[in-house]
Structure 1
Amino acid sequence: MAARRTLCLGLVLLAAVGVLQSQAQAPVPVQPDFQQDKFLGRWFTAGLASNSSWFREKKAVMSMCLSDVAPMAEGGFNITTTFLRKNQCETRSLLLQPAGSPGSYSYISPHWGSTYSTWVVETDYQEFALLYSEGTKGPGQDFRMATLYSRSQTPKDELKQKFSTFCQAQGFPEDAMVFLPRNDKCLKEQD
């Protein structure tokens, strides 16, 4: 009888955790009628949010990145990002493969070797784009990240607010978000 009560209590707790998680994180939409050709070109990474402990440790020293988005022959994107690391400019490329509906992609992390999903949540193609990524780095290590891309190094306040609102809907606490300062050393094109 005691084992049965323990089992029931465990199931109730699991259900409660599931309800809390579903309330904390809104479903991630994809940009309706996403047009990949309009998404191409130069973007600045203006804002980030993540549940990663690494991100929280490093966010104070992070600065704006420059990303060039180019099409791949088989579909998807090659995103080449230049960023400042230890006072040196580094460049990395990420290959996003189509994964389902337009605006949905997957990629393999060169660092972790894990597969992640990425969605273009919203974009107007001219000023901003909101992206969301998730995956698992290892057992019990879920990774989630939201990104604000801007065509300008000085995104408008309403775009920052849109990003903050989206991040809160995804359950990111305030201390898991950052708006990245300009870094003229590695940004090839100024406003």
Structure 2
Amino acid sequence: MALGLLWLGLVLLGVLQTQAQDSTPNLIPAPPLRRVPLQPDFQDEQFQGKWYVLGLAGNEFNKEKHGQFKIYSTTYELNEDNSYNATSTLAWNQTCDHWLRTFIPTLWRGQFTLGNIERYTGIQRYILRVAATDYVQFAMVFFKKIYKHQEYFKITLYGRTKMLTPELKENFITFAKSLGLTDHHIIFAIPIDECMDE
């Protein structure tokens, strides 16, 4: 009897392990930070202000599931300690939803970590890195998080206006692919007006 229960327990354990492996997404590995450019001589005062999210690319995005994402904005407000309060505003269920985060500067200008990380259950590490910007038209920002021991990364294409030029779109696609992503992982926002002028 005891041997039978032990055998049944081992079989169930094997089934649970197989299910857990099947439910874990097969993600493209996050690139090491040394492969991600960092904006030279980053100017934090010039970077602050309102940005529109024109495009997203990442190892957890795909066109089938996320292809209908609507444009939203993120406003970076510079604090005296050179951290940013970042407020994202998006249309959600007929209302304007606001999401506030704080990003703390690191030793590298243009790279930040998420403040109060303990508030975000399951996140062990979160990095924001400004890869490229001209401050007046566009920015490409790399985000990397470790969530429940799994690495996720994304690149956000910001614009100071809601206009996405063909050149900017092509540069974003090229950058995303240089980090191992495919067309399947690159999506562009649907323009809307709701909540954009808050």
Q: The TM-score by the shorter chain falls in which range? A: 0.7 to 0.9
Q: Which residue of 2 aligns with 1:122?
A: 132
Distance 1:128 1:23, change over 3 A: closer
What are the ranges of 5 or more consecutive residues in structure 2 without an aligned counterpart? 1-28
Q: Does 1:145 align with 2:160?
A: no
Detail structure 1 runs of 4+ shifted over 2 Å in the superposition: 21-26, 55-58, 85-88, 108-113
| Alpha-carbon shift at residue 74 of structure 1 (Å) | 1.8
RMSD, aligned CA: 2.6
1:18-167 equivalent positions in 2, closer than 5 A: 27-52=35-60, 58-107=65-114, 108=117, 111-114=120-123, 115-139=125-149, 141-167=150-176
Q: Does 1:169 align with 2:178?
A: yes
| Alpha-carbon shift at residue 73 of structure 1 (Å) | 2.4
- Whether the 8 Å contact between 2:53 and 2:157 is mirrored in structure 1 is yes
TM-score w.r.t. length of structure 2: 0.76
- Partner secondary structure for residue 61 of structure 1: coil
Distance 1:110 1:65, change over 3 A: farther
Distance 1:72 1:63, change over 3 A: same
What are the ranges of 5 or more consecutive residues in structure 1 without an aligned counterpart? 1-20
Distance 1:81 1:58, change over 3 A: farther
The farther-off stretch of 101-110 and 130-139 is: 101-110
- Whether the 8 Å contact between 1:45 and 1:149 is mirrored in structure 2 is yes
- Whether the 8 Å contact between 2:122 and 2:148 is mirrored in structure 1 is no
Name the amino acid aligned to 1:125: Y
| Alpha-carbon shift at residue 31 of structure 1 (Å) | 0.3
Structure number with greater Rg is: 2
Q: 1: distance between equivalents of 2:187 and 2:145? A: 21
Aligned pair count reads: 168
Distance 1:178 1:96, change over 3 A: same
Q: 2: distance between equivalents of 1:30 and 1:129? A: 11
Distance 1:112 1:23, change over 3 A: closer
Name the amino acid aligned to 1:160: K
Q: 1: distance between equivalents of 2:79 and 2:51? A: 17
Q: Which residue of 1 aligns with 2:24?
A: none
- Whether the 8 Å contact between 2:58 and 2:155 is mirrored in structure 1 is yes
Percent identical pairs in the alignment equals: 28
| Alpha-carbon shift at residue 142 of structure 1 (Å) | 1.1
Q: 2: distance between equivalents of 1:164 and 1:26? A: 20
Distance 1:71 1:159, change over 3 A: same
The farther-off stretch of 170-179 and 108-117 is: 108-117
Distance 1:110 1:43, change over 3 A: farther
